[in-house]
Chain A
Amino acid sequence: MIKKTFIIFLSICLIQFFSNNSYAVEPNEILENQKQEFRARNISKNIRCMICQNQSIDESSAPLAKDLRILIRNKIKDGKKDEEIYKFLTDRYGDFILLKPSFKLNTLALWLLPFVFVLIGIFIVFFHNKKSKKI
């Protein structure tokens, strides 16, 4: 009897914790259509949880993360495309909410520089090869 009461008590406490802190994707959020659910998970994995440290809304237990997960699924069910959903979120929260930075003018350097680094690397190797061959 005492054991059961304790369990009920602790569950209530944990519900308070969890209802203010629902634990990442929940069973009742999962869409029936597998393709849609897959899309939803993929989009969620690219959306930052704004109040967590470096987590996506897919992994996060924060209330806002849950709200956004449900919002994304509703929009998918309404037939919105991925780009439209991303635009909806970035219009309101800015580019910061994207974990994969978008391809914009201000992220040009971010995306191009790795290629440039590889090219410089290849150049150095060829240059070293050529130079040492002459000798």
Chain B
Amino acid sequence: MAPSLGNFALWLSLFFAISQFFISKNNNLKLIKISVNGLIISSLISFFLLMYSHVVSDFSVLNVFQNSHTTKPLLYKISGIWGNHEGSMLLWILVLTIFNYFIFKLYNKKNSTFISKTLETQAFITTGFILFTILTSNPFERMFPTQENGLGFNPILQDPALAIHPPLLYIGYVGFSAAFSISIATLSLENSEKIPWHIYMKPFVLAAWTFLSIGIALGSVWAYYELGWGGWWFWDPVENASFMPWLLGTALLHSLIIVEKRRSLQAWVLLLSILAFLLSVVGTFLVRSGILTSIHTFALDPSRGVYILAFTALLGGYSLILFGTKSKKYFDNNYFTFFSKEGSILINNILMVVVCATVFLGTVYPLLIEAFTNNKISVGEPYYNSTVIPIMIPAILVMGIGPILGWGKENKSKIIKKILPSILLTTILTIFIFLIYQSYSIVGIAGIILAFWIISNNLIILIKKNKNYSIGMIVAHLGVGLLILGITGSSVWQEEKITRMKIDSETKIEKYNIVFEKINEIRGTNYVALQGNFLIYDEKKNIIAKLKPENRFYPITNNFTTEASIHTNLFRDLYIVLGEGNLNDGWVVRIYYNPLVIWIWIGALVIFLGGITSININLKKLKILSQ
């Protein structure tokens, strides 16, 4: 019953999406309201009916059979809905309908034509996604005869961070779709100069960027804690697919500020909002079409790929041609020098786009080579490290001074006065770090200086309590500084020890003594495991921690996993992984000393908080405006 109802609700949402597309052309408020509400309600119903099928373990639904099992904990039964391709499409659609509703909330007498046009575009996008789901990936497909139990689920994916990661990412992608629709409306309508389209766009871009940031960060958190070798970013094509919209989103966010304050860079904003969403769709294509394999890709199915490709071509072709023909009136010639706020934002923009183009090149290049030369090459982490990092460095430098420069132009001698305190603070903090870590590598020094450069500049702004600065910006920038601190420390100063240890033996890493106390067997809800108990002593022979890495066996999926055990503090992580072994020969133990790792997560959280603060302030402003 439930699945059939869910399927019906899905078809209903398609009906409402198509209706909205045609109705918005006529600008009939009552009918638009019906389609918008109908869309969101039917989408909610179909989503919750799929959730219901998963929670009650209705294995007649193919999606539930393929991805669930009666022993799966409730939280993961629910999050398992979007852990697979078909279910995640339903989540995409739901978020699309929610943002569609928020666009509708902007509707008033003055902007009725504009918002209708925006809703028309958004309806087209939503129709595209729902049609895709129904035609190629319907989660309500049934399976008869019904099996007693499902195929279980990959135990590595049963993790809280991973559970919440997709919804956050989708808020990001879908938020950019709203910005895209607003852009299309701006370009297609004749007198949109009177419409404050950039004010409408900002909350969506803010929301998209903020949630995309935390979504990406959670994916990395999961990788660090789960995968067992302390890595957290691999330049995997699917990771790149989320990073590229983020980069353009960052450029877009900053350019919107300029449009707001100086009416400059409008064409840029329109183009960036188109590209950011296009890249989100291309990312969807790369993940779901089967054109490449990666840890993240869902099952292979070329028909899905062809559909998304056609959809991308349609959206991209239409939007880019529209931009090419209609954007002329948005190009301006407002003058600003390099050493101005606009100048630094423009430089930041260019650099973000260059990094995005480079990441796109690296991701797509192997496919191009394969198509044209029948050869296969791979583009891995070393490529991105050599290209992206050098380009990011000037961006970070500019990010430090940018906020404190004036609009239009800045007196060059004044600049030196302005940045003197931050240079001083940077130097002090850098020396402080080196007294603690005493590691002298150029890359490390460069990274730390950059991190403290950002942190110092923003701390000084905070101390000066200048009300001209957006608190959201300061917090977010601080977050970036902390992020760089964590990235530098954990990459450059990591230490690793691989050794074989018998019970009661001892080893040393950095200033810590590690004693292998014993081996236990433990039983979890759906696994059995061998657990090693390790005592960590500091140089004064005090116990700091007891770490318990495990090797787990999940009988239902026949999977082995290793669970690292980590002791975290502000200065470093101690990370232990248990390898293979036995009572006679001892066990292989891998110990990592990862300095400053927690600052990566703190930095990401602070960025998120900065974004949320800005969203709050922005929404308050919008309320005042509309009254």
A residues contacting B by CB (< 8 A) are 3-4, 6-8, 10-15, 17-19, 21-28, 30, 45-46, 48, 53-56, 59, 94-101, 106-107, 109-110, 113-114, 117-118, 121-122, 124-125, 128-129, 131-133, 135
Chain A min CB distance to B471 (Å): 29
User: A22, A25, A99: which contacts B378 (Cβ < 8 A)?
Assistant: A99
Indicate if B293 sits at the interface (CB-CB under 8 A): yes
Are B580 and A121 in touch, CB under 8 angstroms? no
Indicate if B413 sits at the interface (CB-CB under 8 A): no
Stretch of B152-160, B213-221, B430-438, B582-590 that contacts chain A: B582-590
Indicate if B316 sits at the interface (CB-CB under 8 A): no
The interface residues of chain B lying within 8 Å CB-to-CB of A110 are 361-362, 365, 379, 383
Are B580 and A118 in touch, CB under 8 angstroms? no
Are B499 and A7 in touch, CB under 8 angstroms? no
The interface residues of chain B lying within 8 Å CB-to-CB of A48 are 378, 380
Q: 8 more A-B contacts (CB under 8 A) besides A4-B583, A14-B530?
A: A13-B553, A17-B560, A19-B580, A53-B294, A99-B378, A100-B383, A100-B386, A110-B365
Q: Number of residues in B with C-beta < 8 Å to the partner? A: 59
User: A18, A54, A99, A106: which contacts B579 (Cβ < 8 A)?
Assistant: A18
Chain B min CB distance to A117 (Å): 4
The answer to whether A133 and B335 touch (CB under 8 A), given A30-B498, A117-B358, A118-B391, is: yes
B residues contacting A by CB (< 8 A) are 229, 231, 234-236, 293-295, 333-338, 346-347, 350-351, 353-354, 357-358, 361-362, 365, 369, 373, 375-383, 386-387, 391, 498-500, 519, 521, 528-530, 551, 553, 560, 562, 577, 579-583, 588, 590
Chain B residue with the shortest CB-CB distance to A54: B236
Are A114 and B553 in touch, CB under 8 angstroms? no
When A and B form their complex, which 4 residue pairs have the shortest distance between CB atoms, in order from nearest? A99-B380, A18-B580, A100-B382, A121-B350
The interface residues of chain A lying within 8 Å CB-to-CB of B579 are 18, 23, 26
User: A3, A15, A97, A113: which contacts B521 (Cβ < 8 A)?
Assistant: A3
Are A22 and B530 in touch, CB under 8 angstroms? no
User: A14, A96, A113, A128: which contacts B580 (Cβ < 8 A)?
Assistant: A14
Are A26 and B588 in touch, CB under 8 angstroms? yes
| A-B residue pairs in contact (CB < 8 Å), sample of 9 | A59-B231, A94-B375, A95-B376, A98-B378, A100-B382, A117-B358, A121-B351, A122-B350, A132-B334
Chain B min CB distance to A102 (Å): 8
Are B580 and A100 in touch, CB under 8 angstroms? no
Are B380 and A15 in touch, CB under 8 angstroms? no
Are B588 and A23 in touch, CB under 8 angstroms? yes
Instruction: Give the docked Cα–Cα distance between A122 and B350 (Å).
Output: 8
Chain A min CB distance to B366 (Å): 8
Which one of A10, A21, A30 has the highest number of Cβ atoms from chain B below 10 Å of its Cβ? A10
Are A100 and B380 in touch, CB under 8 angstroms? yes
The interface residues of chain A lying within 8 Å CB-to-CB of B376 are 94-96
Chain A min CB distance to B155 (Å): 14
The interface residues of chain B lying within 8 Å CB-to-CB of A6 are 521
Are B378 and A96 in touch, CB under 8 angstroms? yes
Instruction: Give the docked Cα–Cα distance between A24 and B579 (Å).
Output: 9
User: B229, B528, B553: which contacts A59 (Cβ < 8 A)?
Assistant: B229
Instruction: Give the docked Cα–Cα distance between A22 and B234 (Å).
Output: 21
Instruction: Give the docked Cα–Cα distance between A64 and B429 (Å).
Output: 46
Are B373 and A106 in touch, CB under 8 angstroms? yes
Instruction: Give the docked Cα–Cα distance between A102 and B380 (Å).
Output: 11
The interface residues of chain A lying within 8 Å CB-to-CB of B583 are 4, 7-8, 11
The interface residues of chain A lying within 8 Å CB-to-CB of B357 are 113-114, 117
Are A117 and B354 in touch, CB under 8 angstroms? yes
User: A11, A100, A101, A132: which contacts B333 (Cβ < 8 A)?
Assistant: A132
User: A19, A27, A113: which contacts B498 (Cβ < 8 A)?
Assistant: A27
Which one of A19, A54, A107, A121 has the highest number of Cβ atoms from chain B below 10 Å of its Cβ? A54
User: B337, B553, B588: which contacts A129 (Cβ < 8 A)?
Assistant: B337
The answer to whether A114 and B354 touch (CB under 8 A), given A25-B498, A48-B378, is: yes
Chain A residue with the shortest CB-CB distance to B560: A17
The interface residues of chain B lying within 8 Å CB-to-CB of A28 are 500
Chain A min CB distance to B235 (Å): 8
Instruction: Give the docked Cα–Cα distance between A23 and B590 (Å).
Output: 10
Which one of B236, B353, B386, B588 has the highest number of Cβ atoms from chain A below 10 Å of its Cβ? B588
Chain B min CB distance to A108 (Å): 11
Are B383 and A113 in touch, CB under 8 angstroms? no
The interface residues of chain B lying within 8 Å CB-to-CB of A53 are 236, 293-295
Instruction: Give the docked Cα–Cα distance between A14 and B552 (Å).
Output: 9
The interface residues of chain B lying within 8 Å CB-to-CB of A8 are 582-583
Instruction: Give the docked Cα–Cα distance between A94 and B588 (Å).
Output: 33
Are A99 and B382 in touch, CB under 8 angstroms? yes
User: A55, A114, A124: which contacts B391 (Cβ < 8 A)?
Assistant: A114
Are B500 and A27 in touch, CB under 8 angstroms? yes
The answer to whether A54 and B294 touch (CB under 8 A), given A10-B530, A133-B335, is: yes
